[in-house]
């Protein structure tokens, strides 16, 4: 169980599907119900309810949705008739086919948890650099000989400091199969770029993220671009 921060709407079906034939008020209420279900504590079940075995009364829902009881009653009836909503016992409402349409949220959960800690954005000219120190204060591992060699290359970038060494192993884990020596040298020569970037590790992650894995292959002597 647990609430979610977003729900999925299929653009094509939303604009050109059967729901488009309904009145605007009904379409708005349907979107509200999806958000209410997703934001509730029982989103995995696709049910709208106050507690485990108790749903909202019609009066409560009309207030939550900020519509009149009459509009809610009419809309609920229509949503049930069109097989979008199911009314269960104790006023519990269930979104039909919720798990089929909203399964993407659970599938992306591991990636979303990771990106919440690690992702960096440069949109609107804003850069965010993730602080990995909280992960590294306990059980720090020394760099291997090869990692130290690569880190020495990165130290040629004036924005990267010796104390940043702990960031390298996780960076390499997150972006495997890359000719790090080549890319790090190119990155150092390019830094800080035309935009005068200020967050080297966030920018380096974006740099490595743009490399296409299918252009790389493994040989006996390491990773090289395909000829």
Q: What is the pLDDT of residue 135?
A: 44
| 54 pLDDT above the threshold of 80 | yes
Q: The tokens 């504590």 sit on which residue?
A: 41
**Which range of residues forms the domain containing residue 121?**
117-225
What are the pLDDT digits (tens) for 141-196? 578 888 899 999 999 999 999 999 999 988 888 888 788 899 999 999 999 988 88
Q: How many CB atoms lie within 10 A of CB 144?
A: 11
Separation of alpha carbons 104 and 76, rounded Å: 26
Q: What residues have CB less than 8 Å from 153, skipping those under 6 apart?
A: 181, 184, 185, 188
Q: What is the pLDDT of residue 225?
A: 41
Q: Give the domain CATH number at 73.
A: 1.10.10.10
Mean predicted confidence (pLDDT) in 70-74: 96
| 94 lies in the same domain as 121 | no
Q: What is the pLDDT of residue 184?
A: 93
Position 112 in a domain: no
| 101 lies in the same domain as 137 | no
| 58 lies in the same domain as 122 | no
Separation of alpha carbons 42 and 131, rounded Å: 33
Mean predicted confidence (pLDDT) in 84-100: 89
Separation of alpha carbons 48 and 33, rounded Å: 8
Percentage of the chain modeled with pLDDT above 70: 71
Q: How far is CA 77 from CA 84, 112, 141, in A?
A: 10, 36, 62
What are the pLDDT digits (tens) for 103-149? 554 555 555 455 544 444 444 444 444 444 444 444 445 788 888 99
């Amino acid at each position: 169980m647990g609430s979610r921060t977003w729900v999925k709407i299929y653009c094509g079906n939303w604009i050109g599907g059967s729901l488009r034939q309904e009145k605007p008020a009904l379409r708005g209420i349907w979107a509200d119900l999806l958000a209410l279900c997703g934001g509730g504590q029982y989103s995995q079940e696709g049910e709208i309810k106050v507690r485990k075995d108790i749903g909202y009364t019609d009066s409560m829902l009309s207030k939550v949705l900020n519509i009149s009881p009459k509009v809610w009653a009419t809309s609920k009836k229509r949503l049930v008739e069109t097989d979008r909503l199911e009314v269960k016992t104790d006023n519990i409402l269930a979104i039909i086919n919720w798990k089929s349409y909203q399964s993407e949220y659970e599938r992306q959960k591991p990636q979303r948890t990771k990106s919440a800690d690690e992702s960096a954005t440069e949109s609107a000219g804003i850069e965010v650099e993730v602080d990995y120190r909280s992960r590294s204060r306990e059980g720090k591992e020394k760099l291997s000989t090869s990692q130290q060699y690569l880190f020495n290359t990165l130290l040629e970038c004036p924005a990267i400091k010796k104390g940043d060494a702990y960031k390298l192993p996780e960076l390499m884990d997150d972006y495997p199969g890359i000719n790090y020596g080549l890319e790090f040298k190119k990155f150092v020569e390019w830094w800080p770029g035309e935009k005068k970037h200020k967050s080297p590790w966030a920018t380096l992650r974006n740099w490595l993220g743009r490399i296409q894995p299918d252009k790389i292959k493994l040989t006996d002597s390491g990773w090289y671009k395909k000829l």
